[in-house]
């Protein structure tokens, strides 16, 4: 059994006292433990601020980009080992594990490229300058400089690799040191990644620390130049946002939380067309990939009444053939949920949906998993529920069942009605819209855009190139309003702004130009 340690104040430290067990969710075997008792959290933050901050700020964007490229490269070297750990600790299939780990490798390298493109400068000018006086002698500019504190990253259990990497890439490129905390139950992959980074000596001292186990008093010592970026449930988000230190010192907070992402099928999409096939593939993938434990997974599927029979048939054909079981078996296509707590949560979520919806596929998730001893593991089958009157099924729009579960919501086919139903989710990370009819999309897009952080337009022309709406791209923003947390990450340069102070400069134009010159 592995005892996971934290990496703080420039060294590995074992926590004392209570521990969280890391369990293989296919077999219920305990494979490791982690705990953070006795770790001086205030000292860990102070070390990052004092050592990592100056070291990163000393570097140009190009040099920070080189660090990210090096991180990406060494992670690639450890890819097979990380995949094996994700299968063991996360219940991932090999393909699920690659989705997480390759996502981490790609995001680090993308931000590495961005650093290279930004070149030999240490600060960024934001937008165009503006003449303030009668002549250009009195001029204004905005600059972006790294905050002088530490970025604390608290991550969810479902993407231990990508979660660490996407947040760290943005903060490090912006010039802020990071303390990263994975969710305890699935920390194995993130812990091994940290070992890989430390062993390869790719980062300056203090630039990246790692806290394994409960956050304890970590957030109590946050100060006004610090940043807290959180991914997880809206319940935890509320606690963290309202923490005394966070509120009193106006700590910059970014939240990525729950989301009842919608897929909307427009009435023009005929069964058997390219767009139809894309829609069916995307919905099926989102239900089963990572056993539905993806923040971007489709939870609600808006289907015109005229297409209900065809959609039901297509999804049923796809999902009833999915082999659920221990992902170490090659034939298995969907693994278990990550923890027993998740299983209980998903089962009670399905039961809640069942009170307001009809069963369409998979009943309430009963399954006999392949390659698993009787009674072991955290398994549930893919489930599709049907809400013929979606306005009367509040739970469909209010409760995120974080597993392989989606509900079809029947609507008339009007874009305005689809947007209204999407809006019942109270803010989402992503909505996907499937249509080749421009007029329909002209009505749908402006109506749905304010409700979502990202809109994915599935159509005939892009179908062959699309990885689906569930894949988060580093070039585009990730986050969403309302229930989704109101946050924004990634999106190239945009994601860095959380870690930078925007300051207005007023002065003589030529003086400002001289100060803002790269180098
Ligand atoms: P969670 O229970 O809220 O935990 C998330 C993280 O918060 C974990 O690292 C956890 O640590 C930590 N945490 C819990 N209580 C804390 C406290 N009082 N102080 C400081 N840290 C605390 O969420 P989860 O079950 O891991 O994740 C599932 C949820 O995340 C889903 O609802 C999903 O929608 C959401 N999610 C959103 C996104 C997104 O990008 N929007 C991505 C992935 C997941 P411990 O594990 O040590 O308790």
Rg (CA), the chain: 24
Active-site residue flag, 378: no
Give the percent of the chain with pLDDT over 70: 100
Torsion region of 492: left, alpha or beta (phi above 0 gives left; psi -120 to 50 gives alpha): left
Position 143 scores a pLDDT of 97
The two tokens of residue 189 are 């992959």
Nearest CA to ligand 1 atom 31: 233
Position 203 scores a pLDDT of 98
Ligand 1 pocket by C-beta < 6 Å: which residues? Answer: 154-158, 181, 183-185, 214-215, 219, 231-233, 236, 239-240, 256-259, 295, 400, 402, 429, 484-485
Ligand 1 atom closest to Cα of residue 294 = 43
Ligand 1 atom closest to Cα of residue 20 = 47
CA dist., res. 463 & res. 445, Å (int): 19
**Which residue shows structure tokens 């609507």?**
411
The two tokens of residue 265 are 């099928």
Give the residues across from 70 on adjacent strands. none
CB distance 451 to 343 below 8 Å? no
Position 202 scores a pLDDT of 97
The 10s digit of each residue's pLDDT in 93-122 is 999 999 999 999 999 999 999 999 999 999
Per the confidence metrics, is the pTM higher than 0.85? yes
Task: List the Cα angle 17/19/22 in 5-degree steps.
Answer: 160
Position 51 scores a pLDDT of 98
Position 17 scores a pLDDT of 85
CA dist., res. 82 & res. 161, Å (int): 9
CA dist., res. 408 & res. 47, Å (int): 51
Position 245 scores a pLDDT of 87
CA dist., res. 291 & res. 326, Å (int): 12
Q: What does the pLDDT average to over 153-180?
A: 98
Q: What does the pLDDT average to over 400-424?
A: 98
Active-site residue flag, 9: no
Q: What is the residue-averaged pLDDT of the chain?
A: 96
Confidence at 142, pLDDT banded by 50, 70, 90: very high
Position 518 scores a pLDDT of 72
Nearest CA to ligand 1 atom 34: 258
Considering only CA atoms, which of 476, 456, 464, 469 is closest in space to residue 110? Answer: 476
Residue ranges and CATH numbers for the domains of the chain are: 2-257+488-516 (3.40.605.10), 261-473 (3.40.309.10)
Which among 9, 295, 378, 409 is annotated as catalytic? Answer: 295
Within 8 A by CB and 6+ apart from 44, the residues are 6, 8, 9, 179, 209, 211, 218
Give the percent of the chain with pLDDT over 90: 97
Q: What does the pLDDT average to over 122-151?
A: 95
Give the residues across from 265 on adjacent strands. 434
Position 519 scores a pLDDT of 61
Q: What does the pLDDT average to over 215-244?
A: 94
Burial (CB < 10 A; 0-12, 13-18, 19+), residue 14, is middle
Nearest CA to ligand 1 atom 15: 236
Residue to substitute in 20, 183, 483 for testing ligand 1 pocket (most ligand atoms within 8 angstroms of CB): 183
Show the beta-strand stretches assigned E in 250-391.
252-256, 261-265, 298-304, 358-361, 383-387
Position 18 scores a pLDDT of 83
- Cα of 165 to ligand 1 centre, how many Å? 16
Q: What does the pLDDT average to over 466-471?
A: 95
Considering only CA atoms, which of 176, 199, 188 is closest in space to residue 45? Answer: 176
The 10s digit of each residue's pLDDT in 359-368 is 999 999 999 9
The 10s digit of each residue's pLDDT in 297-352 is 999 999 999 999 999 999 999 999 999 999 999 999 999 999 999 999 999 999 99
Inter-axis angle of helices 160-174 and 61-77, nearest 10: 160
């Amino acid at each position: 059994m592995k005892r996971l340690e934290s990496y703080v104040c420039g060294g590995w430290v074992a926590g004392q006292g209570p521990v969280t067990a890391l369990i293989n969710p296919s077999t219920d075997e305990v494979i490791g433990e982690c705990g953070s008792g006795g770790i001086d959290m205030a000292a860990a933050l102070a070390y990052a601020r004092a050592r990592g901050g100056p070291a990163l700020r000393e570097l140009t964007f190009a040099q920070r980009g080189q660090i990210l490229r090096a991180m990406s490269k060494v992670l690639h070297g450890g890819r097979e080992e990380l995949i094996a750990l994700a299968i063991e600790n996360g219940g991932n299939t090999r393909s699920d594990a690659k989705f997480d780990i390759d996502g981490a490798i790609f995001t680090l390298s993308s931000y590495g490229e961005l650093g290279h493109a930004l070149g030999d400068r240490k600060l960024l000018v934001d937008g165009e300058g503006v003449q303030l006086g009668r002549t250009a002698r009195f001029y204004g500019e905005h600059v972006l400089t790294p905050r002088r504190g530490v970025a604390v990253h608290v991550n969810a259990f479902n993407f231990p690799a990508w979660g660490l990497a996407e947040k760290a890439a943005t903060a490090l490129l912006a010039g802020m040191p990071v303390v990263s905390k994975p969710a305890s139950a699935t920390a194995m992959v993130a812990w091994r990644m940290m070992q890989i980074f430390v062993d390869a000596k790719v980062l300056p001292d203090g630039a990246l620390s790692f806290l394994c186990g409960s956050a304890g008093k970590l957030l109590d010592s946050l100060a006004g130049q610090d940043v807290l970026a959180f991914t997880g449930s809206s319940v935890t988000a509320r606690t963290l946002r309202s923490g005394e230190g966070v509120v009193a010192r106006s700590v910059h907070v970014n939240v990525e939380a729950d989301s009842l992402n919608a897929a909307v099928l427009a009435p023009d999409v005929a069964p058997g067309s390219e767009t139809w096939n894309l829609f069916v593939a995307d919905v099926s993938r989102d239900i089963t990939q990572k056993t539905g434990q993806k923040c971007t997974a489709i939870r609600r599927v808006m289907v015109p009444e005229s297409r209900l029979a065809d959609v039901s048939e297509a999804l049923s054909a796809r999902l009833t053939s999915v082999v659920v079981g221990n992902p170490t078996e090659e034939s298995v296509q969907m693994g278990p949920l990550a923890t027993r707590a998740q299983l209980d949560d998903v089962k009670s979520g399905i039961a809640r949906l069942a009170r307001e919806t009809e069963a369409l596929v998979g009943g309430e998730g009963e399954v006999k998993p392949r390659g698993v001893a009787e009674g072991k593991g955290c398994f549930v089958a893919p489930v599709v529920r049907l809400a013929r009157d979606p306005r009367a099924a509040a739970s469909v729009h209010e409760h995120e069942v974080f597993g392989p579960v989606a509900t079809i919501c029947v609507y008339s086919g009007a874009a305005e009605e689809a947007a209204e139903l999407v809006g019942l989710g109270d803010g989402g990370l992503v909505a996907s819209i499937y249509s080749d009819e421009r007029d329909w999309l002209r009505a749908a897009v402006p109506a749905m855009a304010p409700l979502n952080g990202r809109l994915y337009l599935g159509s005939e022309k892009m179908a062959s190139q699309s990885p689906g709406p569930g894949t988060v791209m580093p070039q585009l923003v990730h986050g969403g309003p309302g229930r989704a947390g109101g946050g924004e990450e990634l999106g190239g340069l945009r994601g860095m702004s959380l870690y930078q102070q925007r300051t207005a400069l007023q002065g003589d134009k030529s003086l400002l130009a001289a100060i803002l010159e790269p180098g």
